Amino acid sequence: MQEAKVAAILGAGAWGTTLAQLLRSNGLEVRQWSRRSETSLAATLAEADLWIMAVSMAGLASVADQVAALQLGDRAIWVSATKGLADLGWRTPSQVLSDRFPLQPITVLSGPNLSKEISQGLPAATVIASRDRHAAAVVQQAFASDRFRVYTNRDPLGTELGGALKNVIAIAVGVCDGLCLGANARSALVTRALAEILRVGAYFGARTETFFGLSGLGDLLATCTSPLSRNYQVGFRLAQGESLAAALTAIAATAEGVSTARVLAQLASREGLELPIAACVAELLDNRISPTTAIERLMARDLKAELVRENQNVASNTLPLAIAEPLAMKKTYVLDTNVLLHDPMALFRFEDNDLVIPITVIEEIDRFKKDLNERGRNARQISRLLDGFRSKGHLIEGITLDHGGKLRVVMLEKTFLEQLPSGLIANANDNAILAVALALQQQNGQPTILVTKDTNLRIKADATGLCAEDYESDKIDFSELYSGTAEVYLAPDQLQVFRREGGLDLSGEFFPNQALTLVDETNLSHTLLGRYRASDRRVVPLIQPPKMGISRIHARNREQQFALDLLLDDNIQLVTLVGKAGTGKTLLAVAAGLHKVADERHFSRLLVSRPIFPMGRDLGFLPGDLQEKLAPWMQPIIDNLDFILGGANNNGDRPSNKQQNYQDLMGMNLLQIEPLTYIRGRSIPRQFMIVDEAQNLTPHEIKTILTRAGEGTKIVLTGDAYQIDNPYVDASSNGLTYVVEKFKNEAIAGHITLERGERSPLAELSANLL
Ligand SMILES: NC(=O)C1=CN([C@@H]2O[C@H](COP(=O)(O)OP(=O)(O)OC[C@H]3O[C@@H](n4cnc5c(N)ncnc54)[C@H](O)[C@@H]3O)[C@@H](O)[C@H]2O)C=CC1
Ligand SMILES: O=C(CO)COP(=O)(O)O
């Protein structure tokens, strides 16, 4: 891990100065700039490892523009320490930065951090949030000390929203305290404010959990309970009868809540979000209501329930009980054919909401019921389920599902089609489904949502004013996918113990078989590699491949070493390798499989398979026998086998005497290469099975394969979640992603995400850019 040595801080107010103090005491060279300083912006930023933005929101975009104009390259890591929300486009500070510096790593620093306490040396904790784990770790190291505890987080958006929104609430609480309304009122205000913050977070797509962390609840508590908060002081002074201008002059510093309240009021009125506290604060700041009226208005709101389940289609069982306004009404979800064909159990995943299946969907499902593939099986399962429901009543009238929602089949009426915009052809099935959903929306008192995996139908729905959603109940947040690796910082003597004793007890929280890089905390370039053994909570060394390599293949980077370790361990029955093209995932899997089958004879056969989805345009009719027809799809596997068996070394050089070829191995029954379709339905004992391109499978299809594993079989799933040819899955909903998440707690499974391309600089750049 790179270590930050020089930091440039933009902004010389209370926060910028405190951050400079923290970094200097950690031994970093710190340069500070403000709009009034003599040193130039360019000189401040040049060669610095960290660029820290600590100016007020009002100045952030213009300072960022000045930096961008300097064109200083994209090496430095940005740290955004500003807490606010831009009035144009409701952008957060880090989003304003990433608009201008798309190639630079961007991190957010936010938490309960009243600068005065920190500058006095009192203990505090904060969060460094970033999608870029490496950048977050560098910034974490730079700031962390025995009085400033730094946590990382992967939700910069939620982290920033928590920091920006609590400023508005601090003004409200300042008013409440200024009016001497007591502790009960203050607690009620802060708690209901959290509901408001959650609502804004949900609107922007931030993670709910983040708002219960340091940058959310933590900062809310700090700012709403300390008179050191400038925002709180503004509210307090307003309650005393001071004007806003007088209050701001008195505090002589930035109170971001003033502009953020106005931005939120705008957001609430334009987007229909219910943000009563922010709206009252905005009116109060603009002198449109008095402090007393603001409080009265909040108290006089409609009576309602406190806790509600978020009624959402999206993995709702994983959402905590959210403190949110009741969504009062049930929703009607109209299901498209592809949703049911993708997951017949979708019928049970919409909680107590009502479900509608247009008759066109039933007709479409009927067409697939004879298919001998996954889709056919799902079609038959839906028919069986619906047939079973008939015992509960007439489907046309609606039957009540176990969760309390109603399910009904709706006929297509002529009048429905007549309501479609004239540009849409009335006899297309998609449009018939759209017509039913639109008609229900008009008839229904409750919100109506079309659920479809067809992007174009969602666009059409949008264009006709109908709300549409993807079906997401089996989606995993791909950006949050478990990587299988972690870094652990240890004292030098612990590393010595690990080396000497072949293992070390570890106290942290790790997943079984997680690959660990043990870093010497006194010398970050000194590292050792190991794997976490959950049974006795120890990190143990990786399996050492023979000097000759595995089928003459050598790991070229750390992730490949981790992958080989999992592939070579016979106790691990399921290995998942995710990585873009050129990271070596298939090559390593095939090399390990050949080694295990041909050299160690641990498995009776290497079975390599991939689902058949044409890349790009379908090749159409192909001449030849079955093997010849399938050759284009299986060729990438054959290329890997040729590479290994041809004896090529990692540099592509081949020795003159050619080794066995893959046909010899097939002749000896040690190797089988088959499309996945032929493998279903079999039991697969004592085989080393590789399913390549597993990202093209649905979760259900992968389940079918894994449940076929016989005694002594090892299954390796490889794939690239960004290269999906199956139109009904995406990076988050495909079977490979699903398996990685579902198996991460299991001792018989291991996963590695390979990031580094090893094919060629061109292949690496193309995989990243295109
Ligand atoms: N003071 C604190 O305890 C903390 C503050 N923050 C955030 O850090 C940011 C800065 O806060 P403070 O340093 O406390 O405020 P401050 O009022 O003490 O300093 C503001 C800084 O921003 C600069 N600035 C303001 N308007 C500008 C413009 N139009 N163009 C260029 N520069 C401009 C000022 O020159 C000054 O350097 C705010 O977003 C605040 O919410 C975050 C955590 C803690
Ligand atoms: O963000 C802060 C504490 O975390 C500082 O709050 P004030 O800007 O209200 O002083």
Range from 136-140, 577-581, 618-622 carrying the lowest mean pLDDT = 618-622
Which one of the ligands is nearest to 232 CA? 2
Per-residue pLDDT at 325: 37
Q: Is the pLDDT of residue 415 over 90?
A: no
Q: Which of 111, 133, 154 marks a domain boundary? A: 154
How far apart are the C-alpha atoms of 488 and 103, rounded to whole Å?
28
Between 707 and 181, the higher pLDDT residue: 181
Distance 126 CA to ligand 2 centre (A): 13
Question: Confidence band (pLDDT; 50, 70, 90) for 348?
Answer: confident
Interval 520-559: pLDDT, tens: 988 888 999 999 999 999 999 999 999 888 988 899 999 9
Which one of the ligands is nearest to 54 CA? 1
Distance 445 CA to ligand 2 centre (A): 44
**Half-sphere exposure in the Cβ direction for 301 (13 Å, CA):** 14
> Which atom of ligand 1 is closest in space to residue 253's alpha carbon?
17
SS3 for 585-650 is HHHHHHHHHHHHHHHCCCCCEEEEEECCCCCCCCCCCCCCCHHHHHHHHHHHHHHHHHHHHCCCCC
Q: Which two tokens stand for residue 309?
A: 């389940």
User: What DSSP designation does 322 have?
Assistant: B
Range from 256-260, 555-559, 705-709 carrying the lowest mean pLDDT = 705-709
The residue segments making up the domain with residue 40 are 6-154
Which one of the ligands is nearest to 113 CA? 2
Q: How far apart are the first and last CA of the chain?
A: 27
Ligand 1 near 158 CB (within 6 A): no
Question: Confidence band (pLDDT; 50, 70, 90) for 345?
Answer: confident
Q: Which two tokens stand for residue 388?
A: 């079973």
Is 493 among the domain residues?
A: no
How far apart are the C-alpha atoms of 349 and 474, rounded to whole Å?
10
Packing angle of the helix pair 182-204, 156-178 (nearest 10 deg): 150
Per-residue pLDDT at 709: 79
How far apart are the C-alpha atoms of 199 and 195, rounded to whole Å?
6
Q: Which are the contacts of 534, defined by CB distance < 8 A and separation ≥ 6?
A: 510, 511, 512, 513, 747
586 and 724 inside one domain: yes
Is 324 among the domain residues?
A: no
688 and 562 inside one domain: yes
Ligand 2 near 223 CB (within 6 A): yes
Interval 143-164: pLDDT, tens: 999 999 999 998 999 999 999 9
148 and 255 inside one domain: no
Ligand 1 near 228 CB (within 6 A): no
Q: Is the pLDDT of residue 473 over 80?
A: no
Per-residue pLDDT at 660: 60
171 and 103 inside one domain: no
Per-residue pLDDT at 313: 37
Calculate what percentage of the chain has a pLDDT beyond 90: 58
Is 306 among the domain residues?
A: no
Is 418 among the domain residues?
A: yes
Active site residues: 166
172 and 145 inside one domain: no
- Ligand 1: residue whose CA is nearest its atom 41: 83
Q: Would you tell me how many other CB atoms lie within 10 Å of the CB of residue 744?
A: 18
- Max mean pLDDT among 88-102, 211-225, 295-309, 415-429 falls in 211-225
Residue numbering of the annotated binding site for NADPH: 15, 35-36, 83, 115, 230, 256
Per-residue pLDDT at 403: 72
378 and 241 inside one domain: no
Mutate to test the pocket of ligand 1, among 215, 254, 256, 259 (most ligand atoms within 8 A of CB): 254
How many structural domains compose the chain? 4
Between 367 and 420, the higher pLDDT residue: 367
**Half-sphere exposure in the Cβ direction for 567 (13 Å, CA):** 33
User: What DSSP designation does 467 have?
Assistant: E
Per-residue pLDDT at 312: 38
User: What DSSP designation does 387 have?
Assistant: H
Q: Which of 409, 440, 470 marks a domain boundary? A: 470
Interval 431-449: pLDDT, tens: 999 999 999 888 876 678 9
Ligand 1 near 253 CB (within 6 A): yes
Is 499 among the domain residues?
A: no
Is 544 among the domain residues?
A: no
Question: Confidence band (pLDDT; 50, 70, 90) for 654?
Answer: very low
Is 593 among the domain residues?
A: yes
Question: Confidence band (pLDDT; 50, 70, 90) for 271?
Answer: confident
Interval 77-108: pLDDT, tens: 999 999 999 988 889 999 999 989 988 999 99
How far apart are the C-alpha atoms of 617 and 725, rounded to whole Å?
10
- Across the range 622-642, mean pLDDT stands at 68
Between 652 and 493, the higher pLDDT residue: 493
CATH no. for residue 376? 3.40.50.1010
SS3 for 274-312 is CCHHHHHHHHHHCCCCCHHHHHHHHHCCCCCCCCECCCC
- Ligand 1: residue whose CA is nearest its atom 19: 13
> Which atom of ligand 1 is closest in space to residue 63's alpha carbon?
31
Question: Confidence band (pLDDT; 50, 70, 90) for 209?
Answer: confident
Q: Would you tell me how many other CB atoms lie within 10 Å of the CB of residue 379?
A: 23
CATH no. for residue 714? 3.40.50.300
Ligand 1 near 9 CB (within 6 A): no
Between 647 and 410, the higher pLDDT residue: 410
Dmax (CA) for the chain in angstroms is: 93
363 and 451 inside one domain: yes
Question: Confidence band (pLDDT; 50, 70, 90) for 512?
Answer: very high
> Rg of the Cα trace of the chain?
30
Q: Which of 116, 137, 154 marks a domain boundary? A: 154
> Which atom of ligand 2 is closest in space to residue 231's alpha carbon?
9
Is 639 among the domain residues?
A: yes
Which one of the ligands is nearest to 112 CA? 2
Strand partners, 409: 357
- Across the range 127-148, mean pLDDT stands at 94
Ligand 1 near 256 CB (within 6 A): yes
Per-residue pLDDT at 302: 65
- Across the range 160-183, mean pLDDT stands at 96
277 and 402 inside one domain: no
Ligand 2 near 114 CB (within 6 A): yes
Three-state DSSP at 52 gives strand
Interval 416-427: pLDDT, tens: 888 888 777 766
Q: Which long-range contacts (CB under 8 A, 24 or more apart) does 70-76 make?
A: 70/41, 70/42, 70/45, 72/42, 72/45, 72/46, 74/101, 74/103, 74/104, 75/49, 75/104, 76/8, 76/45, 76/48, 76/49, 76/50, 76/51, 76/104
| Nearest one of 143, 14, 20, 159 to 94, comparing CA atoms | 159
Q: Is the pLDDT of residue 768 over 80?
A: no
CB-CB contact of 715 with 705 (8 Å) = yes
Q: Is the pLDDT of residue 507 over 70?
A: yes
Q: Which long-range contacts (CB under 8 A, 24 or more apart) does 102-105 make?
A: 103/74, 104/74, 104/75, 104/76, 104/77, 104/78, 105/77, 105/78, 105/130, 105/132, 105/134, 105/135
How far apart are the C-alpha atoms of 51 and 142, rounded to whole Å?
12
How far apart are the C-alpha atoms of 397 and 541, rounded to whole Å?
64
How far apart are the C-alpha atoms of 437 and 336, rounded to whole Å?
10
62 and 149 inside one domain: yes
> Which atom of ligand 1 is closest in space to residue 62's alpha carbon?
30
Q: Which two tokens stand for residue 255?
A: 């109170």
- Ligand 2: residue whose CA is nearest its atom 10: 229
Distance 13 CA to ligand 1 centre (A): 5
Three-state DSSP at 464 gives coil
Per-residue pLDDT at 449: 92
Distance 224 CA to ligand 2 centre (A): 9
Q: Which are the contacts of 473, defined by CB distance < 8 A and separation ≥ 6?
A: 313, 314, 315, 343, 346, 349
- Max mean pLDDT among 530-544, 638-652, 722-736 falls in 530-544
Q: Is the pLDDT of residue 168 over 90?
A: yes
Distance 237 CA to ligand 1 centre (A): 20
Ligand 2 near 313 CB (within 6 A): no
Angle at the Cα of 8 (from 6 to 11), degrees rounded to 5? 155
142 and 164 inside one domain: no
Per-residue pLDDT at 253: 94
Query: Average per-residue pLDDT in the chain?
Result: 86
Per-residue pLDDT at 672: 84
Per-residue pLDDT at 478: 62
**Half-sphere exposure in the Cβ direction for 267 (13 Å, CA):** 26
Q: Which residue in the block uniquely carries the two structure tokens 């979640």?
A: 721
Give how far the C-alpha of residue 15 lies from the chain's centroid of Cα atoms, to the nearest Å: 30
Question: Confidence band (pLDDT; 50, 70, 90) for 642?
Answer: confident
Ligand 2 near 83 CB (within 6 A): yes
Question: Confidence band (pLDDT; 50, 70, 90) for 629?
Answer: low
Distance 502 CA to ligand 2 centre (A): 48
Ligand 2 near 208 CB (within 6 A): no
Per-residue pLDDT at 650: 46
Alpha carbon of 459 to those of 188, 371, 424, 726: distances in Å?
42, 29, 13, 19
Per-residue pLDDT at 29: 98
- Across the range 460-487, mean pLDDT stands at 81
637 and 704 inside one domain: yes
117 and 221 inside one domain: no
CATH no. for residue 250? 1.10.1040.10
Question: Confidence band (pLDDT; 50, 70, 90) for 1?
Answer: low
